[in-house]
Structure 1
Amino acid sequence: MTSNFKQAIIDKKFLITAEVTPPKGGNPQRMLEVAQLLKNRVHAVNITDGSRAVMRMSSIVPCYLLLQQGLEPICQVTGRDRNSIGIQGDLMGAYSLGIRNILALTGDPIIAGDHPQAKAVFELESVRLLKLIEKLNLGFDINNKPLIDGNLNLFAGAAVDPQSKSWSGLQRRFEAKINAGANFFQSQLITDFDKLDLFMNQIAVGFNKPILAGIFLLKSAKNALFINKNVPGVHIPESIIKRLEKADKPLEEGMKIAAEQINLAKDICQGVHLMAVKREDLIPQILDLANIPPLIN
């Protein structure tokens, strides 16, 4: 069975995904309420896996809960916290629950999060994780032993950073992920759309893999300055920071900026990945501002 997200890629639609954080605790109600607001507005909802190395509920359970509510999930899986035995077990379990889309990530460093004393694993980084998923899809485990109870059929994607300072490193890593089985790419936060355009025309061209530009809702100038200071590889331009500083309603200005960026991305790549941390409820309004209509089932 083809996932709705995969079918949207096959149909070459402009793809819209959004990120939702799992609960920090045992009650998923808030997450589910937020996710419901995204129904018929996005092709799939990403559930993060310990993003920024902050402990939260396993991404698999929220993905299953979204499926139960008619929402298509993309389950993020990182190599930071589990060895190959644990990851294979989780992927098989996710597949058995109906989860089909996986975003394979290396994972943020432990020191960045709320459990700096925890022990990192990193047996698998993103490329090796993609290769593992490919093996499971073919019916073999990481040691080339057959899966006696059936192969998987996971649709794997990966992250990409078109604003990377190392152009050769970006190209090498991007191609390695494609060769390892990545079917789609969601980018890190994009602010330099000229660089995104260069990436699409100099590196991504010819591979026929959808690239979704990361669009981040900036809530204030303070929020933008915090990101510049604390998120590696991201630089919010001074012009955007000044817009937010001068705005009577910075949050509304941030929504306008995000909508403008969606429209910039429409002329460059095949989709957008929306990140509105703690304000995912505003994503439908941002899409309205960008004149992106609800999806047609």
Structure 2
Amino acid sequence: MFEQLINKLQDPKQTYITLETTPKHDADFIPVIDTIEKLGIAEKVDGFSTTDNPLAKLKFNAIIAAMLLQQRFDKPVLATMSMRDRNKIALQSDLLGANGIDVRAILALTGDPAKISDQPAAKGVFESDSTMLLDIIKCFNAGIDYAGREFGIKPRPVYPFAVSNAFAKNPKTLLKKFTKKLEHGALGIITQPVFDTQNALELLEHFEEAKKMSGNRKGTLILGIFPITRLRTAQFLASHVPGIHVPKNWIDTLYDAHAKGEKEEEKRGLALSRELFEAIKSIHPKIHMMTANRFSLAKELLTP
């Protein structure tokens, strides 16, 4: 199933869509899977991802969640692994375990700082940034661990993914980050949400340059989409989240709709999100959808 996902990712003529899922602060991930099944979303996407304790908040394990999703829908899942919570021993141990249960698409993430955690006095590990995990995956794919020791039973192929900001005041910053992650072997780089086609086109331009600089011709950019249906969400993202640019016309449209009531606000926000989704799909049909588990929004966008 992973080979088919990568083939779709790397074929410029094919549509590739994955959907982010966020495990909850619960001892069971099945209710989230049941919701996805009830809405019939699995038939509309090529795969899923599972987040790994985002914002340093305690959640159900991302690797086990990925396994459960794969078992239910027979579709590949990108399991996020954060450098914040693991040293190189734990990273490799988790990768071996994931390999044994056929979770083999890994989204390498540095991770949010531990100081914002909901766990008292939690400390981050951060032996390195996410490129160390990409290098570890390279070693695993060569049949050795990070120390160069051969495995008795070699891991099955692991498929590395990474993340990037969608916006920077200095475009060279994005180019540098793209290049670095491609140099370390990322097959796909998922951006934070984009909200206009000009932003998407600029990212694609920088990415093509990064591919030439890195020598990684197989790397593919995956554009993040986050449907917004509330003014407060748009304003929060615009004001507080680095690496994301929410255009003024989105803020203005939602502001006008907000004055007319919640239903109008949601209607206009959904219309903007659908228009963007279709435009991005026509420009570059490699999309990662993020809805903060509001899967009904994903269904709205994915249903013609």
Task: Give the TM-score of the pair, scaled to structure 2.
Answer: 0.88
Q: Deviations over 1:144-192 (max 9, x none)?
A: 1111221331111111224122322221221111111100111101124
2:198 is equivalent to residue 194 of structure 1: yes
2:275 is equivalent to residue 260 of structure 1: yes
Q: 1:246 aligns with which of 256, 263, 281?
A: 256
Matches for 1:149-164 after TM superposition, within 5 Å:
149-164=153-168
Aligned to 1:275: 290
Aligned to 1:5: 5
5+ long unaligned stretches in structure 2: none
2:46 is equivalent to residue 43 of structure 1: yes
2:240 is equivalent to residue 230 of structure 1: yes
Q: Do 2:82 and 2:111's aligned partners in 1 also have CA atoms closer than 8 Å?
A: yes
Q: Do 2:99 and 2:155's aligned partners in 1 also have CA atoms closer than 8 Å?
A: no
Q: Do 1:210 and 1:269's aligned partners in 2 also have CA atoms closer than 8 Å?
A: no
- Runs of 4+ in structure 1 off by over 4 angstroms are none
Could you tell me how far apart the structure 2 residues matched to 1:251 and 1:211 are?
A: 29
Q: What CA RMSD, in Å, does the superposition of the two structures yield over aligned residues?
A: 1.9
Kindly indicate which of the two structures has a greater share of residues assigned to helix. Answer: 2
Aligned to 1:169: 173
Q: Do 2:192 and 2:243's aligned partners in 1 also have CA atoms closer than 8 Å?
A: no
1:195–1:208 Cα change, 3 Å: farther
Could you tell me how far apart the structure 2 residues matched to 1:234 and 1:2 are?
A: 30
Matches for 1:96-135 after TM superposition, within 5 Å:
96-115=100-119, 117-135=121-139
Q: Which amino acid aligns with 1:114?
A: D
Q: Do 1:163 and 1:196's aligned partners in 2 also have CA atoms closer than 8 Å?
A: no
- SS of 1:203's equivalent in the other structure is helix
- SS of 2:223's equivalent in the other structure is strand
- SS of 2:283's equivalent in the other structure is coil
Could you tell me how far apart the structure 2 residues matched to 1:129 and 1:85 are?
A: 11
Could you tell me how far apart the structure 2 residues matched to 1:52 and 1:280 are?
A: 20
Q: Do 1:190 and 1:214's aligned partners in 2 also have CA atoms closer than 8 Å?
A: yes
Q: Do 1:19 and 1:45's aligned partners in 2 also have CA atoms closer than 8 Å?
A: yes
Could you tell me how far apart the structure 2 residues matched to 1:116 and 1:130 are?
A: 30
Q: Deviations over 1:46-92 (max 9, x none)?
A: 10011122210110111110111123211111101111111111111
Q: Do 2:230 and 2:254's aligned partners in 1 also have CA atoms closer than 8 Å?
A: yes
Aligned to 1:294: none
1:175–1:23 Cα change, 3 Å: same
5+ long unaligned stretches in structure 1: 292-297
Task: Give the TM-score of the pair, scaled to structure 1.
Answer: 0.90
- SS of 1:204's equivalent in the other structure is helix
Matches for 1:129-148 after TM superposition, within 5 Å:
129-148=133-152
Q: Which amino acid aligns with 2:294?
A: R
Q: Do 1:101 and 1:155's aligned partners in 2 also have CA atoms closer than 8 Å?
A: yes
Q: Do 1:34 and 1:281's aligned partners in 2 also have CA atoms closer than 8 Å?
A: no
Aligned to 2:71: 68
Count how many residue pairs are aligned between Structure 1 and Structure 2.
Answer: 289
Q: Do 1:4 and 1:43's aligned partners in 2 also have CA atoms closer than 8 Å?
A: no
